[in-house]
Structure 1
């Protein structure tokens, strides 16, 4: 199969967050353990020579190579419909099919997080790599498809290093991490305290812990809830009534009780800061209504960020990512063009090898006939090499293709078209 034909064999079929509801994507979802078997069935049903299934909360799609990609795409859509079962829509078509250049651009865009619900989110590249590896280990990926995935990874790396599309947190949890990092620098070695057992508070605490906080303590009005959260976080448990005592050793305090009473008051925090010898304390209040008295911001070394503050930071960064997406798309376009150019150049390799072989064979024939007479040998060699092309050019001129032939020769050789000696009859 020639190199240009590789791109023409590429096909991608699936459903994503723009074309389908979450319920359909849940029905289509393919677990890693199931992927090898499911891929084998889909390859057989849709005549794919190799394939990868990418299954995330945003998308379920099959990336493969086929001799007849349009037909294979239709068969893949039918297979996805069957897998969806009663979740398949009765009207409309939730599945898309991309082939050839369009499929290559889609693969690059997905890997570069330009097709995600949140543009620039970092998880998708790891998910693509994991799906690729699962399929490869199961024998579903050949060298051609593997090469296209490697090119997608190179594109994603350029997007992340040359554009700002992935910069800035776009969720409340990541916004909290940014603010904490701005305040303390490295988070490693800091201690955290979670007051309450709300889901958002646990999510923020988990994110902070993953970034290096040494330990977390959990205190909640209901001790059983505190113990459940602490077990999931790998944290300690403190009595909720003794929360101000627990705050003495905490650099970051996450509040999420979901109650209607203040959990941290200005006066209580003033006493905590005095006993901490004014070491800074960062309070993240993600409770509605708020757990922290707003006036604590008047205290030196107390830094309060409420839910609306973190949401504002996240929304600003989402806007910046969208604004930077055009630069990232430019990178994708360049990388797609480079792959197509490289593949086309590879298509010329057999012609170049054949041309070199032809010239070498003629050289050997002339040497065998004329030996060491360099002038006669080189003259005869040129005549032999030009005989076929000369006859072909005359024929092209007779058929009305002189302009095209002239343009091609000028592209290949630095020709001087000034008339010189009359042409000598070619020697066979």
Structure 2
């Protein structure tokens, strides 16, 4: 959430900055409500001053037996006026607060109009045979089953079975191990249901209400990403500066009403209502948040490198930033069957945007006061999408899957699926 100071004192400048991410601020509506609020506050001060005069008069005259009936009547009328003005003021504050909840974060100054390719790691393999998609490979190996999932729950779910199910879990566990052992993140087992307040704090609500699964007759929602419960671990907490950075990792299922394109590029495991992801977050001192973004992105890259998966790194343009982010990188793995790169991780700096929503603060030893943290998040990795890249990258002419060397010893030395 943006600071109310920005909308009150730097409205036009803030609006111009938000244009860089294709968001148009309703300057007229905000200006009108802020102006009304100032007028009503002035009116309240004037009415309170009159009330004090009446109160002093009553306090002076009543002990002396003088008539105060009219003054008491006027005092009651003043109370009613104050109540009426406060009612309107509260409505204005609620309007401005609700509107602020829908405003995305301000992008960094150097944000570009188009995504910028900054890294290409490992050239894609040239195959001497016709490439199969992960869907075709799943059918051949009898390990990916969409019809069974449809019988259980409906479309856009999957059953993964046999050796591929083992590889899937091992992939997630090894990714966590990389982040906990090499990058010093603390592993977390988290609830998969969260409250409305938690989802509001992370920025998923109210804007993306139609994209999350609501549990009827409760204030609970299924998490769309592990980021939601992770950052809410520090909601309303004040951390000592010496304890920073806070680095957490979690492996969770994610539940989303996926919307948008359902063409070839989004078939199979690439677009599901339920998928699994290893999520990273960092809570840091604001002075080091951009450095932390480079670090958390490198941590996600390292997992792809250890799997020897060709990928590219994109510096996202303003129009493609996530709602809470001020700067983001996407990591896209190469999919041979489509000859395109496809996102498998996204890493973002949300600056103080999420921290303001959840009141995540730290004690600043230099200024001797509490300040908002900067929060960062990153996919470390999206397990299902990485599995797609493994299936297609490591396929053989016969339609089998060569198990990546990193995973082989954990697969009882199975070489092929």
Superposition TM-score tier, normalisation by shorter sequence? under 0.3
Of Structure 1 and Structure 2, which has the larger fraction of its residues in helix?
A: 1
Q: TM-score, normalised by structure 1?
A: 0.20
Q: Using CA pairs below 8 Å that are at least 6 residues apart, which structure has the higher relative contact order?
A: 2
Of Structure 1 and Structure 2, which has the larger fraction of its residues in strand?
A: 2
Larger Cα Rg: Structure 1 or Structure 2? 1
